[in-house]
Structure 1
Amino acid sequence: MRLLHTSDWHLGQTLQQFDRSAEHQHFLDWLCQQIQAQDADGLLIAGDVFDTANPSAAAQKMFYRFLQQARAIQPHLQIVVIAGNHDSPGRLESALPLLEQFNTHVIGFVPRLQDGSIDLDKLILPLRDRHGVTRAFALALPFLRQSDVPRVEDAADPYMAGIGLLYQQVQRRALELRTEDQVIVALGHCHLIGGQVSAASERSIVIGGSEALSASIFDSRVAYVALGHLHLAQQVSQQQHIRYCGSPLALSFAETEYLHQILRVDLDCAQLASVTPLPVPRTVPMLRVMPQPAPLAQVLEALRQLDLPATDYPPYLQVRVRLQEPEPAIRSLVEQALEGKTVRLVRIEVSYATATRAQDELSATQELAQLSPQEMFERLYHSQYQEAPPLALRQALNELIHGAAQ
């Protein structure tokens, strides 16, 4: 059985004021070609389909048109979609009655039974080959909010403990359902410990508190784990079967050097046979002048020397300047240096060679902003009482913070 793993499309995203719908459409057209060329049996989309919970009508049309086209070129294709932290679970699931007719399964919310308990069976989807034989089970766990997870008493962070427990419960149930010749694959939208983050474009998925899970939450009998959230394609804890495929587009200049890809996952009987990266072609180049902030005169000369080929999609440009003092005319000078060149100026990043007192204060403020609310609370409590805060207080703070994030 052959699956394709992709995630973090962020349809509807703009780069500053520049619309990126043409880039997204090029990717989706390319993905349709890969579905056919690779003769895929299934497509796993591990969250963050859209960039916001309230995507534009154009972004939604792009998504649904892709689903229709993918099924048209590969009629036996099964598609599994989970919601990410950028997605609206309700919006993703709203078209489910229609999508199920096209063998497309969407999990936005964690389903509940009438008694309020979690319906584990609805999180476990059979994956069938082109002959209709069930070859695998997909554990489809969306981004988990506070209300989605079971309560774990006596845990310092009940939310994170609840996420781990739910993953364990779903895996246990899947192991009960499968036969020896069936494979288990898991989809999740989460941050695993050891994953490399692009802080410029990946939204923190938990407000405060530890937000990273251990890869040990996955049972060793799970053949492949298809993850979403981190934009850099990577293995987790050097384990070949636990993977972030990464985003198909560079969503910020921090991701300029990323190798964007989808992953082809081949399953043989009850085990993983191979994982093959399929590089995504980049429609629009992303340029940085300079690689590191440089003096203004040097930057302006580099801009004047830029040799840009004619293209339907002008490159995005970030200019990085290091100044001795503020230069009010900097944008005008940059635009003059770019005169006659077809380029999209996204941002001028300015830093200063000598730190001022105001900049020192800004740096201290930024350092403080990096602390989680829990860390600030624990520091304050310790400064007053010379001991760590009691478990009950930490639990109450976690519940307050995670509740506010809903």
Structure 2
Amino acid sequence: MRFIHTSDWHLGQTLHQFDRSVEHQAFLDWLSDTLVSEQADALLICGDIFDTANPSAAAQKQFYRFLQQSKNRLPHLQIVIIAGNHDSPGRLEAPAPLLDSLDVTVIGFVPRLADGSIDIASLLVPLKNAQGDIAAWCMAIPFLRPGDVPRIDNANDPYMEGIALLYRQVLQHANDIRAPRQAIIALGHCHMVGGEISEESERRIVIGGTEALSANIFDGNVAYAALGHLHLAQKIGKQEHLRYCGSPLPLSFAEVDYRHQVLRVELQDNQVSAITPLYVPRAVALLRVPEKPAPLAQVLVALTALDIPHDTPAERMPFLEVRVRLNAPEPGLRAAIEQAIEGKPVRLAKIETSFAHRDVSATSDVALAELERLHPDQIFDRLYQSKFGDENQTGTPPEISAAFAELLLATPEVQA
């Protein structure tokens, strides 16, 4: 049996207000072609299908069109989807009666029986090979919130221990019902101990003081753990069979150097025989200029030297992050950058500024009682000196002071 592991599509995401539907569609088209060329038996999508719990109609149409077209092109394809922390479980499960006809299983909530207990059996999905035989059992466990997990009295951390207990219960049931040559595949949307995060685009999902889940929740009976949430493709605990596939496109400039991929996994009997990354083509480039923050003069030279074909279509123009190291605020910064890239087929998405480290003395602190006696421009002057002042400069530069004064004049509360 062969399946494709993918996650963290974040359909509907914008990058600093720029629409990314062209990139998402390019990925979905590539993935559909890949499913066909690889003759995959199953597609496992491990959460964060959408970027928000209330995705746009356009993002939802992209998703459901992909499901329909992929199933039409590969009739034996089975698709299993779990909700991530960005997804609305109810919204994902709502079209389940229609998706059943496409052999698509969606698990957004942890299902409950009439007595309120967890329906363990409903979290197991049989995966069939091209011949229609059950080749594996899929533990399809969505992102878990405190109300989703079993209650454990007197636990040090009821939430984390409840998650571990639920995984053990589902795994035990899988062991009870599987035939000897059938594998167990675990799906989860979670943060595992040792997982490397992307600070700019990953929302922290751990509730409480514990940072992440232990890989011990997957015992030796699990042939493969298909994980979602972390955007960097990686192994957990150096174990080949515990994998984050990562996001299919960079969701922030911090992910520019990631090798975005999906994973092709092949099973032989109840074991994994091969795991192969399939790299996702990048439809739109993300540029960081320069690679590390530099003084403005150097940055402007680098921007002027950018060489991008002028016939690049508007929807394929690279997104640009400019990284500038400053010694003091630069009021004309954006204008200078825009002038340097004028006429170049790029989209200025972000200007990242950083300042040389300066020691801030205790004398720069302002007591609360003193605030009542100080005018806003005096407070601003103290703040400027604490961040940017040195022995060669006394007072805030006149152009900075003038700009602040203009802001004060435009604020009725201050004028009063």
TM bin (shorter chain): 0.7 to 0.9
Residues 38-69 of structure 1 show CA distances to partners (whole Å, capped at 9, x for unaligned) of 00000000000000000000000000000001
Query: Cα–Cα, structure 1 residues 177 and 359, in superposed 2: closer, same or farther, change >3 Å?
Result: farther
**SS across alignment from 1:259:** coil
Which is further off, 91-100 or 349-358? 349-358
Correspondence 1:330 to 2:333: yes
Amino acid at match of 1:330: L
What are the within-5 Å matches in structure 2 for residues 95-134 of structure 1?
A: 95-134=95-134
Per the alignment, residue 401 of structure 2 pairs with none
The DSSP-based 3-state class of the residue aligned with 1:138 is: strand
Query: What's the CA shift string for 1:331-383, capped at 9, x where partnerless?
Result: 00000001110100011111112436499999xxxxxxxxxxxxxxxxxxxxx
Assess if the C-alpha contact under 8 Å between 1:4 and 1:263 holds in 2: yes
Asked if structure 1 preserves the Cα contact closer than 8 Å seen for 2:206 and 2:212, the reply is no
Question: Out of 338, 342, 350, which is 1:339 matched to?
Answer: 342
1:248 to partner: Cα distance: 0.1
Q: Which residue is equivalent to 2:312?
A: 311
Aligned AA (1:351): S
Q: Does 1:213 align with 2:213?
A: yes
Q: Deviations over 1:292-323 (max 9, x none)?
A: 11101110111111111232201011000011
The residue matched to 2:206 in structure 1 has which SS? coil
Q: Percent same amino acid among aligned pairs?
A: 62
Q: Considering only aligned residues, what root-mean-square deviation do their CA atoms show, in Å?
A: 1.6
Q: Which residue of 1 aligns with 2:352?
A: 349
> For residues 119-169 of structure 1, what are the alpha-carbon distances to aligned partners after superposition, in whole Å with 9 as ceiling and x for unaligned?
000000011122221111000000000110001122221001100100000
Cα distance in 2, alignment partners of residues 173 and 261 from structure 1: 32
Aligned residue for 1:146? Answer: 146
Partner SS for 1:320: strand
3-state SS in 2 of match to 1:26: helix
1:371-403 deviation line (CA, Å, top 9, x unaligned): xxxxxxxxxxxxxxxxxxxxxxxxxxxxxxxxx
Show the counterpart of 2:235.
Answer: 235
CA deviation digits over 1:259-298, x for unaligned, max 9?
A: 0000000000111111000000000111111111110111
Q: Is the 8 A contact 1:205 1:211 kept in 2?
A: no
In structure 1, give the amino acid aligned to 2:70: A
Deviations 1:201-249 (A, max 9, x none): 0000024421310101102111010000000000100000010000001
CA distance in 2, matches of 1:332, 1:282: 30
Task: Give the equivalent residue in structure 1 for 2:268.
Answer: 268
Amino acid at match of 2:259: L
Query: Separation in 2 of the partners of 1:68 and 1:114?
Result: 33
1:321 aligns with 2:324: yes
Q: Provide the rounded CA distance (Å) in 2 between the counterparts of 1:208 and 1:202.
A: 17
Corresponding letter in the other structure for 1:36: V
Residue 255 of structure 1 is matched in structure 2 by 255
Distance 1:71 1:359, change over 3 A: farther
Which segments of structure 1 move beyond 4 Å, counting only runs of 4 or more?
Answer: 358-362
> In the aligned structure 2, how far is the partner of 1:188 from the partner of 1:101?
24
| TM norm structure 1 | 0.87
Give the number of the structure with larger relative contact order, counting CA–CA contacts within 8 Å between residues 6 or more apart.
1
1:87-115 CA distance string (max 9 Å, x none): 00000000001001110000000000001
Judge which range, 352-361 or 224-233, deviates more.
Answer: 352-361
1:286 paired with 2:276, answer no
Q: Distance in 2 between matches of 1:40 and 1:307?
A: 40
Q: Secondary structure at the match of 2:291?
A: strand
Question: Do structure 1's residue 181 and structure 2's residue 184 form an aligned pair?
Answer: no
C-alpha change, 1:358 and 1:230, in structure 2 (3 Å) is: farther
Assess if the C-alpha contact under 8 Å between 1:299 and 1:321 holds in 2.
yes
How many corresponding residue pairs? Answer: 362
1:212 alignment partner, SS class: coil
Q: 1:321 is aligned with what amino acid?
A: V
**C-alpha distance in 1, partners of 2:119/2:250?**
37
Distance in 2 (alpha carbons) for counterparts of 1:207 and 1:117: 22
> 1:245, 1:5 → 2: CA distance?
7
1:41 corresponding residue in structure 2:
41
Closer/same/farther in 2, CA of residues 76 and 358 from structure 1, 3 Å limit: farther
Matched residue type, 2:342: E
| Letter in structure 2 aligned against 1:124 | L
Aligned residues of 1:160 and 1:211 also touching (Cα < 8 A): no
* Unpaired stretches in structure 1, ≥5 consecutive residues: 363-406
Which structure has the larger Rg over C-alpha atoms? Answer: 2
**Does residue 30 of the first structure (1) align with residue 33 of the second (2)?**
no
Structure 1 CA distance for aligned equivalents of residues 197 and 91 of structure 2: 27
Query: Structure 1 CA distance, aligned partners of 2:211 and 2:140?
Result: 20
Q: Where do residues 154-165 of structure 1 align in structure 2 (5 Å cutoff)?
A: 154-165=154-165
8 Å CA contact retained: 1:90, 1:109:
yes
Find the aligned partners of 2:213 and 2:25 in 1 and give their Cα distance. 33
Counterpart AA for 2:348: L
Aligned twin of 1:390: none
